Amino acid sequence: METPMANQDETFELLERLSVEHAALERRLNELDTYHSLTREEELERAQVKKLKLQKKDQIAWLSRKTGLA
């Protein structure tokens, strides 16, 4: 059986991982936004990156509320 402390450590590790992934998506989105024009593939990638970034943000917010960090 997991102790509450171990569970809390896993939650904080997950929050850290999600934050790192969110930051990487933010960097990629910023990179795509510097292009003068986007190819069709880049437009699709940009849309996908925006969706994933929002999902990560929502997960971070949910976990933060759940753990009382928000």
Reported as a single tens digit per residue, the pLDDT across 26-38 is 999 999 999 999 9
Mean pLDDT throughout 11-23?
96
Question: What phi and psi, each to the nearest 5 degrees, are found at residue 36?
Answer: -65, -45
**pLDDT-based confidence at residue 22 (cuts at 50, 70, 90):** very high
Does pLDDT of 68 surpass 90? no
Residue 5: per-residue pLDDT: 62
- Per the CB < 8 A criterion, the answer to whether 12 and 4 are in contact is no
Residue 4: per-residue pLDDT: 60
- Per the CB < 8 A criterion, the answer to whether 60 and 18 are in contact is yes
The chain-wide mean pLDDT, for the chain, equals: 92
C-alpha to C-alpha distance for 14 and 63, rounded to whole angstroms: 9
